[in-house]
Amino acid sequence: MVFCTVLRFCSKKTRGKSTGKFIDSLRLMVRGGPGGMGHPKYGGVGGRGGNVILVADEEMTLNKVLHKVPARLVKAGEGENSHAHRLCGDNGADFILPVPTGISVFSTTGVKFGDLNKADEQVIVAKGGLGGQPATQFNGLKGEEIKVVLDLKLIADIGLVGFPNAGKSSLLKSISRAKPRVAAYPFTTLKPQLGVIMYDDFRQITMADLPGLIEGAHQNRGLGHRFLKHIERTKLLIFLVDINGFQLSHEYPLRQPFETVALLNKELELYGKEILSKPTLLVVNKMDTEGAEEKWKKLKDLLSNYKENIRLLPKVMQPQQPITFDEIWNMSVQQDPEAVRTLAFKLRQHLDIHADYERSQLPIQQIEDGIKDMKQRHQIQNALTEHSSSKLM
Ligand SMILES: Nc1nc2c(ncn2[C@@H]2O[C@H](COP(=O)(O)OP(=O)(O)OP(=O)(O)O)[C@@H](O)[C@H]2O)c(=O)[nH]1
Ligand SMILES: [Mg+2]
């Protein structure tokens, strides 16, 4: 009850400021154009109906799509009828609908049409009907008609996950030019926010800040789970944890920082989809608060043997698949801009190392075929060794 009240109270405040509801899923009825009539007397063939085609466009959002087709109905053009003076009718016009990059297109029965991940990629969702011809007794056929779901998953390099109030939006704000709302109550962030980290050499890395997760998020408690799909396509995750732990309200138990790490691990595991196999960094925040150093000592001890120590927690908090953190950091996002800068640098390094590592899978395949590229493997192995020796823990 208290939980619901908090949620409604917060959503009211933030929605007042927002510029429209963020849509990350949209249903549309799409209809291919009907074929034109043939001409039985002269054997004329009607034009084919137009197709409905979705094309990825980086400028689009699902809100803009809805603005373009407010009735959620998309119809391609009719094929032209065959006439005595013009026996072959023209084909109907295709309806080309620009959609955001990063969408998956499904039928409402769950059949996938495809993913549109890069600008200009396209998918035909409804084909136009055949024009009238002898095989159709010169009748034009109806076009395909189907309900489709456009499911948006943001494409960001890095995804921020954590309990509410941990400082995720504060980190996004200080590391990028994004201006997410930051406030001292849970569920300040109600929809995913994207920020771009800019580097001196013009490299840009995108980071997604998601609404906070809570225990039981996989059972649809809170807001976080609904948005977890947005980290499916990220290359790197940051678990952001408050050194003081998390307490939803006085009616709920205080979760110690180690418990919040395990619980985040568990929620992601229950969400599934191999999210836990992504490289993950742990950032422990709010080190400027009272008693933080003491708490950090304890947390560090527990984390140094994470796999064993999570088994000491109550069963409900235990993930089956303990995550391996690539690196663990502690910092104060709010008080230590230098640490934030170093983190930005580290993030870049991690992304590069993992990109190299992914690429290194190719030569490994070829090795099996007898073609060895040992030089590259050595370079990557060296990079990984250097990298692991720079870990905090
Ligand atoms: N003392 C201290 N407070 C911090 C720090 N970082 C963030 N905060 C505060 O923690 C509170 C929550 O910060 P947010 O950035 O809104 O947290 P969030 O994780 O985005 O929260 P949700 O959007 O609710 O999930 C705010 O009052 C921040 O000012 C820090 O390093 N030190
Ligand atoms: Mg936030």
- Residues 44 and 155: their CA atoms lie apart, in Å, by 49
Q: Which ligand has the nearest atom to the CA of 164? A: 1
Q: Which residues of the chain have pLDDT under 50?
A: 1-19, 364-393
Instruction: Select the CATH number that applies to the domain covering 158-389 from these four: 2.60.120.260, 3.40.50.150, 3.40.50.300, 3.40.640.10.
Output: 3.40.50.300
CA torsion, points 159, 165, 170, 172, in degrees to nearest 10?
10
Quote the pLDDT of residue 370.
40
pLDDT digits (tens, 9 = 90+) for 26-48: 999 999 999 999 999 999 999 99
97 is written with which tokens?
Answer: 């609908």
Which residues line ligand 1 at a C-beta cut-off of 6 Å?
A: 162, 164-170, 182-184, 186-189, 211-212, 285-286, 288-289, 332-335
Each domain of the chain, given as residue ranges in start order, spans: 23-152, 158-389
pLDDT of residue 364: 45
pLDDT digits (tens, 9 = 90+) for 223-236: 666 788 888 889 99
Residue 164 CA, closest ligand 1 atom number: 25
Q: How far apart are CA 225 and CA 355, in angstroms?
A: 27
Pairing of strands 112-116, 122-126: unpaired
pLDDT digits (tens, 9 = 90+) for 338-391: 999 999 999 999 999 888 777 776 554 443 444 334 444 444 444 444 443 334
Indicate which ligand has the atom closest to the C-alpha of 284: 1
Tokens representing residue 161 in the block: 């996950």
Contact (Cβ atoms closer than 8 angstroms) between residue 332 and residue 288: yes
> Alpha carbon 170 to chain centroid distance?
20
- Please state which architecture CATH assigns to domain 23-152: Distorted Sandwich (2.70)
Query: Which residue's alpha carbon is at the smallest distance from atom 7 of ligand 1?
Result: 167
pLDDT of residue 185: 80
Query: For residue 171, which atom of ligand 1 is closest to its CA?
Result: 15
What pLDDT is stored for residue 223 in this prediction? Answer: 67
Q: From the CA of 190, give the closest atom in ligand 1.
A: 23
